[in-house]
Structure formats: structure tokens, C-alpha cells
Amino acid sequence: QGMLSGKVAFITGAASGIGEGTARRFVEEGAAVILADVQQEDGERLQRELTEAGGQALFVMCDVSDASSVEQAVTQGVQQFGQLDIVFANAGINGVWAPIDELQPDEWERTLDINLKGTYLTLHYTVPHLKRAGGGSILITSSVNGTRTFSSAGASAYSSSKAGQVALMKMVALELGRDNIRCNAICPGLIHTNISERTEQRNTEQLGIKVELPEGSPALHEGEGDPVDVADTCLFLASDLGRHVSGVEVFVDGGASLL
């Protein structure tokens, strides 16, 4: 009997990094996972791997910045597994990091659309299912950027989106307490995933922007964490161990942001 036996989790950004690590951890603990992502190939590969090992997993195509895409993905996942108990709004991008007078309006919008509006849409379409299940646990991936660390020059769009997620989390925790739904944010420090590579690739190859990480950026910190470090924190918050915890940010950075 795993800690999440009989539970169904909807995870965005599940094809890579923190989302993938958490999906693996949740399946180990007996959950069925709905893997929502824009990356079909990686998502389907993960679904195959998890199901071949005896777990329950379904990849669903989902662009979190698009309302109808999220609605469809949630419907498809719930149809497959019959219910929803855990929601992990995790999909996110770094976007373009640039000083405010150089940061272009469409890049600001893209970062906010995926990171903040995407979180709203994910919650908007999943919460009715949590209510129907009689309760549940919502997790949101924010960041130390925008909550405790403001040393990364150029990260105004990213940090604003991450701060916005915390405000959203607190409102949702307040609104849904009576429905037996908890809502918390995890704020990772630097975690070893594909996010930086992905950002650099888009910035240099598609936009022709050479991003130079400003001094004080988290990428310069020593001691990166691993997705499994975040996954274990998520497991605590998603499971009954976290039953009396709601409305908080949990920093998963090994204490680095205290510096």
C-alpha cells in the first residue's frame, strides 16, 4: 500500500524535470497520474515507461496557457481514471530575462500566460473534480525567485509570475478550505532540469537573443537540487501527511535563499 494508493493526480509540465520526477514518485506510491504537457514525444515515452512497470499513467496534450486545451486535457484524464484528488500546477518557463526597458511586451505576456494564467486555468478546470471527490490537495510550483530571492537581475517577468502564483495559492487555500481542499506552493531553488537549456535554446535559436545570466542569478549558485528532492516535498503535501498544511510556501532550496 503506497501513500497515494487509490488517488489520481493531474500534473502539468509532467514530461520533464520536476513534473516528471514527481509523476514517477507519485506512481511509486500508488497514484494514477495524468501527464499533461506540450511535449508529446517525451510525455508518451514516460507514460509507456510507467505503465510497462505496472503503474497507471496517461499522457494528455495540454498547453496550460490555452483554456480549451486545459479543459480538454482535464476531461480526458478524468474520463480515464474516473476521479481527481491531487493537482500539481507545475508547467512553467523562464522566458526571456532582460532589463525592464529591453523586455518586450510579447515576452512579458508569454511568461505570464504560461506561468500565472496557466496556473489559474489548471485550477479553474480541476477544482470542480476535487470538490466532487470530497476534497483534495493542490500544489503549485512557484520559485524562490519572486518569493524570497530578488538577486536575479532581468527576471522581472518570471519573478512577477512566480509571486502571482503565491497570491493565487493563498486565495484558493482560503476559498476552498471548507471543501476540504488544501492548496500550497513549493518554491524550489536551483534544481537540475532542462529548463535553462530550453530557455537558452529558444532565446538564441528562435529569437536571436544572447542571454547572459546576470550576476547573482541562481544558476551561479553551488549545490543544485534534484527533481526528486522536490518530488518528496510534493509527496508530503499531496498525501495525508500534509493534512493540516494549507496556504503556505515551502522552500525547497537546501536553505540557499537564506544567503
Q: Which residues bind ligand NAD (CB under 6 A)?
A: 12-13, 15-19, 37-39, 62-65, 90-93, 114, 118, 141, 143, 188, 190-191, 193-195, 198
Nearer to ligand NAD, 62 or 133 (CB): 62
Please confirm, yes or no, whether 125 is among the known catalytic residues.
Answer: no
The Cα–Cα gap between 33 and 79 comes to: 13
Nearer to ligand NAD, 17 or 154 (CB): 17
DSSP E strand boundaries for 135-217: 136-141, 181-188
The H or E element that residue 19 is part of is helix 17-28
Count CA atoms within 13 Å of residue 6 on its CB side. Answer: 4
Nearer to ligand NAD, 55 or 118 (CB): 118
Nearer to ligand NAD, 8 or 11 (CB): 11
The single residue of 39, 158, 161, 189 carrying the catalytic annotation is 158
In whole angstroms, the minimum distance from the beta carbon of 153 to ligand NAD comes to 17
Cβ-based neighbour number of residue 160 at 10 Å: 17
- Whether the CB-CB separation of 112 and 126 falls below 8 Å is answered with no
In whole angstroms, the minimum distance from the beta carbon of 93 to ligand NAD comes to 5
The Cα–Cα gap between 27 and 210 comes to: 39
- Whether the CB-CB separation of 154 and 203 falls below 8 Å is answered with no
Q: Which residues contact 153 (CB under 8 A, 6 or more apart)?
A: 99, 214, 215, 216, 217
In whole angstroms, the minimum distance from the beta carbon of 142 to ligand NAD comes to 7
The set of catalytic residues is: 158
